[in-house]
Amino acid sequence: MKETPFGIIAECFGVTFTIQTSNRELSSVVRDLVPRILPNYVSIRESDSTSTSFFLEASEGRYSLYKNNQASMIGVDKLEVILRRLSTEVRLLVGEQAVGRAFVHSGVVVVDDKAILLPGRTHTGKSTLTAALVSYGAKYYSDEYAIVDARGLVHPFLKPISLRNEKSKPIDIGTDKAHLCPVQVGMVFISEYLKNALWKPRKLTGAEGVLRLVENSLSIRQNPKFALRAFNRLAKSGCFYESIRAEADEAASSILHIFRTESSLQNQIYS
């Protein structure tokens, strides 16, 4: 690979990285893309020292991506595919190394000014469940990451999601539905889609709940002390439940009922 002057240096939550490209046209595409990878959190820098570098190469109508001189994806014929891979790599980098934030694989919605977290890895159905909760009136916050600060508050990750209904028509949930301020967590519900699953919610202890957050955390290896402290503070304000599920609509309705029941009990205790 040949070093070129076409590229940018960016920073997000204390993580600085370089993205270089093989020509000026690709550099323009990357410059437009980077602020959307982690919306509202990425800043472009003119110069800085970086520990991670990406290189996006175009050659004979095909695209390749390298991370720290190691191949990440080679010879792809569609630019959008390589850009999705670049976006994923950058998010993982920031999620793992962020300073002052703990990242959790999770959908997030806001109800009555409190967050409901839906932790889960890819293909567990968290985006579908997030969309179902939004259809019931919850405010969209994230379908990919819960970003938790030192106080245990959750910040928005404003990436629009696109799902498909039974007729395979795209359903877009835009950032206009987002709740923009960091909020306290009211409930964490761990759920995974299984066909014909029996819905049987079980309340977890705070320790069990924190363990589930750890299991879905990107930050736990690089900064375990901060992540555990943030998760424990989060646990003081919210309750934890889990259950496998079948249809998202039925699960969403039940989750909202449980959330409001728990909120009512908390209000009675402190009234």
Give percent of the chain above pLDDT 70.
87
Q: Is the Cα torsion angle 69, 159, 129, 191 positive or negative in sign?
A: positive
- Close Cβ partners of 268 (under 8 Å, ≥ 6 residues apart): none
Q: Is the pLDDT of residue 34 over 80?
A: yes
Q: What is the DSSP letter of 39?
A: T
Confidence of residue 51 (pLDDT cuts 50, 70, 90): confident
Please give the CATH architecture assigned to the domain spanning 102-270: 3-Layer(aba) Sandwich (3.40)
Both tokens of 153, joined, read: 């508050």
Tens digit of pLDDT for each residue in 233-263?
A: 999 999 999 999 999 999 999 999 999 999 8
Q: What is the pLDDT of residues 83-100, one digit of tens each?
A: 999 999 999 999 999 999
Sequence-ordered list of residues with C-beta below 8 angstroms from that of 255, at least 6 positions apart, any chain: 116, 129, 133, 187, 189, 241
pLDDT at 81: 94
Domain boundaries, the chain: 7-97, 102-270
State mean pLDDT over 19-25.
89
Domain 7-97 bears CATH identifier 3.30.160: yes
102-270 shares the fold of 7-97: no
pLDDT recorded at residue 166: 41
> Which range has highest mean pLDDT (139-148, 153-162, 166-175)?
139-148
